[in-house]
Structure 1
Amino acid sequence: MTAVPDSISARLARLAEEPHSTAVVRCSGPVSAEGVTAAQLLDGCRRIADALRAAGVRSGDRAVVMTRDAYQLVACSYALTSLGAVPVLIEPRAEVRRCLDEVAPGVFIGEPLAHVARRALGWGRGHVRTALVTGRGFPGQAHLLGRHLPSAAPDGTGPAPRVPEPRPEDLATIAFTSGSTGRPLGVEYAHATLAGQLTALDAVLRTRADDVLLSCFLPFAALGPLLGVTTVAPQVDHLAPARTPPGHLVGPLLQHGATVLLGSPAVLGLIAGHCARRGLTLPSVRRVLSFGTPLRPRLAEALTKALPAGAEILSVHGATECLPVAAIDAEQSRVLRVQPPPGHSGTCLGRPLPGVEARVLDADATGLGEIAVAGPVVSPGYHARPEATAAVRTRADGTLWHRTGDLGRVDEAGRLWYLGRKAHLVTGEDFTLTTEDVEATADTAAGVRRTALVGVGPAGRQRAVLCVEPERAARRDAVVSALRTALRDHPHARRIGTVLFHPRFPTDLRHHSRIDRVRLAARAAEGKPW
């Protein structure tokens, strides 16, 4: 059997070599937290694996894991992996019932609230045969919701779980897309995929032995211990990340001296705003990783004010199907935005990470085309959706490429330039506009928080509408004047027929950072603000 290079089992074995190191810190509120050592985590994984085996969970079983507790998510995911079962991660706000019908999971693991929703809304009905509950138990729970799993971190005196070495092609997990650009799809990760993603993340994080990672995205907390870094999981409002009390983020960061901060622009904006209002700084942070959507210069500038000199801010690009792909330093991105190479516009994403290949397919005369990715970070495909998989796969020059749906170019230095989503092109009778080309310039206007270019009308005869979300205290007439100035020399500014103001853009469920342009376009068609 061919071994998986740097597999989960190999990384868990390395974790066991540092039994007294803190693996996960589960937070509750701005200061309360519980540290879990590597020995405790591995002991807990084994105990949960024993309970899963006793409940009838077997190799190959697909098991939904739905809990907001970082330790329980990590321990249950590792325990399932040790049994050869397949964890399934899904947004609790997505089309859960349809997604579960597609996956047909035999096992459902979750906190009591998730099981209440499962029973009330019919999640997994006809498929789930084993229901297991995390968190505190209560009388009658086994009859009402399911058998209780050991949820408290043990003392760590027990042995680690035995994790067999997987085959590269074995299915490791299924993670659903958020559905922000269409129906949620179950993305399959083989063990080789996860190993490739972890290796690429090593290159981005560049962690040291004493690093502490504050992960503001719960699923990433499951990867932190495998990356060999103490992972602090703050109490983020996972149903609405942008509404998380900022003290729940900054408090744990300061308390545990986080050196690496990871989050979406929406969450990083909460941290930057809180620090500005309270006059706080983040002296321990040396690297910030922003993901979910390209980082805008204004947010990078606000973060810089709270960080020590020399701290690095990286904008990381990728998707559920291929993560991560590329990364760029925020300062370099700002300079390139002001002085792009000839023939380039939009937002520079940086060079592909080691082991990742990227190219542009179906390019026009200007080099604009669809960004495609190849390499070990790319998912084998979508679960039970062969037609969807076939639609995003292309073979060129002997390599199988994943079409990302992103439009872009590659410059002479090998850097990727992002011009927006292919599905969001605005096409008029005599023009075609990419969203990022216009928005990257419009977003620099004073008083503008962000903008969104949408097309109103049928493709080929659309009217270009620029939607504007202003800063809270900005005057509308001043913002309009600033927009005129910012777009004065833009070659496509004259194509913008209407400007509409919206107090708050609708965004995706997962990161609260990607703009829901379909809803914006529907409102723009009515000529109304949100």
Structure 2
Amino acid sequence: MKDRDLSHPNIAACLPFMAEKKPYQKAVIFPHGRDRQGRVAYTHLTFKQLDEESDWLAHGIKKTGLSPGDRAIVLLSPSLEFVTLTFALMKTGTVPVLIDPGMGIYRMVSCIKQVQPRAFFGIPKAHLVRILFPKYFRTISVKVTVGRRWSWGGVTMQALRLKKSGTFPIFNPGDKDIAAIFFTTGSTGPPKGVVYTHPMLKALVHTVKSFYQIDENDLDLPTFPLFVLFSTAFGITAVIPDMDPTKPAEVNPAKIVEAINNHGVTNTFGSPAIWNRVGRYCEKHDIKLPSVRRILIAGAPVPGDILERFRNILPSGNTYTPYGATEALLLTSITGNEICKKTLPLTRQGRGTCVGRPLPGVEMRIISITDDHIELSGRSLDSFSVPPGEVGEILVRGGYITREYFAEPEETTRAKIIDGETFWHRTGDLGYFDEEGRLWFVGRKAHRVERCGRLLFPVMVEAIFNQLEGVARSALVGIPSPDTGQKAVMVIEPSDGKIPHGSKKKEWEERLMAVANDHGIPIDAVLFHPSFPVDIRHNVKIRREELAKWAQKKLKIS
């Protein structure tokens, strides 16, 4: 099979295809600094250059002795080198393992030990971690530094680039050969390595490109490093933004707007934390973004005020709030316009967050809530299903839904339901379908609060309190109680970040309890927190387990 044929089963075949079709189109653009006038200076690789450089690097990788199926840790900052290296590894059949360094050193090195990698590709700072924690890296025989190498051995990536070495014959994978391993952040438990095969990635690329009508005229600004790879697979130019991807809540909105306007960006993806800052900045300075056709906002429920704000900022575009997970990157989608016009008023009444309808090829079911492992044993899944409109756990099935966690058979068994020749993935999320076939998200299964036999769902409850003046955001958490099973505690993050005291605190508590009573929500206590702990990937998901422990200590409940 020809490497320049998109029917090639390896996802990396998109590069030689684009190199032949549009050799001089920019594939990746990177901000390299500023000139004396303060203008951004960019460097780039065309599709032809990216294909050639990944070929040269693939030849060098093969000479290290790495074989198809060997796993390689990739710890690089967003850069041209990150894209080149990842595609070079895929061309050789070596499996890139991508771990979010923001999860913390101890969690990160535990993930590395779990996958037993043969190779380690990292910036100098990453190699320092390898030196400081050697017991987690004992399986590694190939050590490659991206940048300046000090005294830790191995070679540099520059030395691996065998220039003028010719076209590299792309590895021809089978249906079950692993293409990449992406680690979850572990927001509700230990991080897990999600296994993606080449057919899964190709199916995902095809579905997303078709559904959002992404074409060769699009230009992407992916604020999450992994999605730069998808931009390349789509065959469109990607602009890497000038930001720290591990701290999206601290992004400089002026730099995002600058990149969009410098290049005429048409498509972009990011967490609500990013677009909240960008939206407020644009509103304050009366800035429009005429080139943008679509902004995909995901990672957590998107506040309605963000979507309303962008209706005025995008004269020719729309926002979208897709729903998914690391195990199933895109499952449903809905436009910001539909939310603002139809579902936002219901969200503010406590109905949950509408995340839209399933994408083509994605099947979804809602089953009764249980923490137990489910085995059908000849039974139909219908025996576990709940009626329309009733909250239950969201199950998904489809061509790019991942089948397993790497080296985690027990976690895989808990998260999958075998159904004949196929399987369903248990998302661990709770929701329901409305009469129009739209999915509504109400929270994580692990975060539900059960008080006196009644279930309370955080996303439903919090939407009511988040509207109150002076409330930045709220969090419903449950803490153990011998009397009620769990006590329902409402934690408030004040807009000014200041904890109320004395009479002001009493006024707050009375106002909040009155709102709870008006909506029939049983709240046992109200607490105030200056700044909620959040996840490291999107900087927006509340770390509720941590907040619940804090609340328990604050209330002195053992």
Question: Is 1:26 the equivalent of 2:50?
Answer: no
The aligned counterpart of 1:334 is 340
Contact 1:100 1:124 in 2 (8 A): yes
SS of 2:524's equivalent? strand
Query: 1:389-442, CA deviations, whole angstroms, 9 ceiling, x for partnerless residues?
Result: 000111347641000000111223222111100000111124210111112232
Contact 1:357 1:373 in 2 (8 A): yes
The aligned counterpart of 1:499 is 526
The aligned counterpart of 2:494 is 470
Kindly provide the amino acid, as one letter, of the partner of residue 74 in structure 1. Answer: V
Kindly provide the amino acid, as one letter, of the partner of residue 549 in structure 2. Answer: A
State the 4+ residue runs in structure 1 displaced beyond 6 angstroms.
3-6, 151-155, 473-482
Question: Is 1:11 the equivalent of 2:28?
Answer: no
Q: Among all aligned residue pairs of Structure 1 and Structure 2, give the percentage whose two residues are the same amino acid.
A: 33
Q: Give 1:121 shift.
A: 2.5
Query: 1:136-171, CA deviations, whole angstroms, 9 ceiling, x for partnerless residues?
Result: x35xx3x4242011299999x885543233222211
Closer, same or farther in 2 for the Cα pair 1:335/1:489, shift >3 Å? farther
The aligned counterpart of 1:168 is 175
Give the number of equivalent residue pairs: 519
Question: Is 1:104 the equivalent of 2:110?
Answer: no
Deviates more, 1:240-249 or 1:413-422: 240-249
C-alpha RMSD of the superposition: 3.0
Alignment of 1:74-113 (within 5 A): 74-94=83-103, 95-113=107-125
CA distance in 2, matches of 1:438, 1:309: 33
Q: Give 1:339 shift.
A: 5.2
Kindly provide the amino acid, as one letter, of the partner of residue 127 in structure 1. Answer: T
Contact 1:337 1:345 in 2 (8 A): no
- Correspondent of 1:427 among 436, 447, 450: 450
The aligned counterpart of 2:152 is 144
Deviates more, 1:117-126 or 1:169-178: 117-126
The aligned counterpart of 2:366 is 360
CA distance in 1, matches of 2:540, 2:524: 26
Q: TM-score, normalised by structure 1?
A: 0.90
Closer, same or farther in 2 for the Cα pair 1:298/1:474, shift >3 Å? farther
Contact 1:66 1:110 in 2 (8 A): yes
Alignment of 1:269-418 (within 5 A): 269-305=276-312, 307-338=313-344, 340=346, 345-362=351-368, 363=385, 367-396=390-419, 399-418=422-441
Q: Give 1:487 shift.
A: 5.4
CA distance in 2, matches of 1:338, 1:485: 23
- Correspondent of 1:235 among 233, 242, 251: 242
Segments of 5+ residues of structure 1 without an aligned counterpart are: none
Closer, same or farther in 2 for the Cα pair 1:266/1:528, shift >3 Å? farther
Contact 1:193 1:379 in 2 (8 A): yes
Query: 1:176-214, CA deviations, whole angstroms, 9 ceiling, x for partnerless residues?
Result: 101111100011001111112112221343223221111
Closer, same or farther in 2 for the Cα pair 1:4/1:376, shift >3 Å? farther
Q: Which has the higher contact order (CA 8 A, sep 6+)?
A: 1
CA distance in 2, matches of 1:54, 1:176: 28
Deviates more, 1:499-508 or 1:373-382: 499-508
Kindly provide the amino acid, as one letter, of the partner of residue 495 in structure 2. Answer: E
SS of 1:81's equivalent? helix
CA distance in 2, matches of 1:466, 1:524: 9
Closer, same or farther in 2 for the Cα pair 1:205/1:448, shift >3 Å? farther
CA distance in 1, matches of 2:162, 2:514: 61
Contact 2:28 2:237 in 1 (8 A): yes
Segments of 5+ residues of structure 2 without an aligned counterpart are: 35-39, 369-384
Contact 2:10 2:171 in 1 (8 A): no
CA distance in 1, matches of 2:211, 2:297: 11
Q: Give 1:367 shift.
A: 2.2
Kindly provide the amino acid, as one letter, of the partner of residue 340 in structure 2. Answer: R
CA distance in 2, matches of 1:418, 1:505: 21
Query: 1:324-375, CA deviations, whole angstroms, 9 ceiling, x for partnerless residues?
Result: 111111232234434559x992111111111111111225566221100100
